[in-house]
Amino acid sequence: MTLQEHLSNKTAPKRMLALDGGGIRGALSLGYLQRIENILRKQNGNDKNFRLSDYFDLIGGTSTGSIIASCLAIGMSVDEIKNMYMDLGAQIFAKKYKWWKIFQIDDLIKAAYNEKPLEEQLQKVFGDITLGDADRIKTGLCIVAKRADTNSVWPLINHPGGRYYNSADGMNKDIPLWKAVRASSAAPSYFLPQIIDVGGGLSQAAFVDGGVSMHNNASMQLLMVATLQGFPFKWKWGADNLLLVSVGTGMSRWKEIPENVKKNNILKWAQQLPDMFMQDASWNNQILLQWFSNSPTAWEIDGEIGKLENDYIGNVKKDGGLLTYLRYNTWLDADTLNPLMNKTYTQKEIDGLVEMSNADSRFELYDIGSKCAAKEVKDEHFADTFKL
């Protein structure tokens, strides 16, 4: 399908795919996505040319999720992305700044990793494609980044009707796709910020990782882009009208001894805060989306509100909720992984899987995602309502 075909007929059922950030843990997402692609390809006659860009009308993501989302949007298969991603991960997290390179001392203070391998690989994948390239971007695309100089979240979209797509206030259509993805992936302390011309040569903006916001889990941002009147999509609400599929990158489970928490020093808190904030934001998105829907993949939130089985906004008995929502993710802890992978994990090994820059874990993370997907992602989740 083409971008125009996806964006036309606003009253037809629409399908969205949202991909979380999480560094190299994006390999876990790919395990889920391979299962989703297999199910949908089978649903569409086992056409070997079928791609997720044919099915989803809007694909978006944050950080590593934006890399995968953009690859899907230009028509790559999950297998093609997997091969690229494994090579990409090995390169971008291999070259830290060296303490003895005095001429790089300013960059060393600002970021742990040299951004050049990341930029080179993104340019290799996306070439000269721009955000406004309707011939090569085959479906709606939303790249979630954070503009650091104004402290505002920027959903960079490729819809020609967007407020900042092509106007005196912004020329987002001319942004190279690789730069948009690099901006969304510029995790503070990992990589330097990305400077992008957003005003036809007249205005510069400094971007950092979209995960430094409420949208490391990009689901709510995509839903807002799809339905709020300020955006050009303006898709219709309803369980038979909107499908939102959300894929995570795995989660660490917090089990701290209170006395040990009390002993945390400033450095320890600094290391923990990003994960704490990202998990809080993701769970908040999860609560809202389960509140909006009657999801067959609902998660247990906590002991008080459970899965929100009886808490829905909208008349669920009548119309099924405000949308159809599917969330796929897994815990990265011993209780989950030991039976899943048929091995006994040490805490050190689990910490290695959780660490977002540990490229050595990428193949195992993919296998974890694949095994989880085999159990969690079911054919019936993709109802006839949303068939092509």
pLDDT score at 258: 64
- φ/ψ bin of 300: left (φ > 0), alpha (ψ from -120 to 50), beta (otherwise): beta
Average pLDDT over residues 14-29: 96
Residue 296 has pLDDT above 80, yes or no: yes
The stretch 35-64 carries a mean pLDDT of: 96
Pairing outcome for strands 58-62 and 14-19: parallel
Question: For residue 118, what pLDDT is reported?
Answer: 86
Long-range contacts of residues 223-232, Cβ cutoff 8 Å, at least 24 apart: 223/16, 223/289, 223/323, 224/155, 225/58, 225/60, 225/142, 225/155, 225/157, 226/14, 226/16, 226/58, 230/163, 231/157, 231/159, 231/162, 231/163, 232/157, 232/159, 232/160, 232/161, 232/162, 232/163
Least trusted range by pLDDT, from 43-57, 180-194, 284-298, 355-369: 180-194
219-272 per-position pLDDT tens digit: 999 999 999 999 999 999 999 999 999 999 999 887 655 666 666 666 666 666
Measured CA to CA, the distance from residue 42 to residue 52 in angstroms comes to 12
- Residue 102's pLDDT band, with cuts at 50, 70 and 90, is very low
* Weakest-pLDDT range from 20-29, 246-255, 335-344, 365-374: 246-255
Average pLDDT score over residue span 189-218: 79
If you average pLDDT over residues 303-315, what whole number do you get?
83
pLDDT at 99 over 60: no
- Residues annotated catalytic, as ranges: 63, 209
Report the run of H or E that residue 109 belongs to, with start and end.
helix 105-110
**Ordered structural domains, the chain, with CATH:** 3-94+112-386 (3.40.1090.10)
pLDDT at 339 over 50: yes
Q: DSSP of 277-326, one letter per residue?
A: HHHHHHHHHHHHHHHHB--TTPPP--TTTTT-TT--SS-HHHH-BSBEEE
The average pLDDT across 320-345 equals 95
Q: Across all residues in the chain, what is the average pLDDT?
A: 88
| Least-confidence region, from 140-144, 196-200, 354-358 | 196-200
pLDDT band at 105 (very low <50, low <70, confident <90, very high): very low
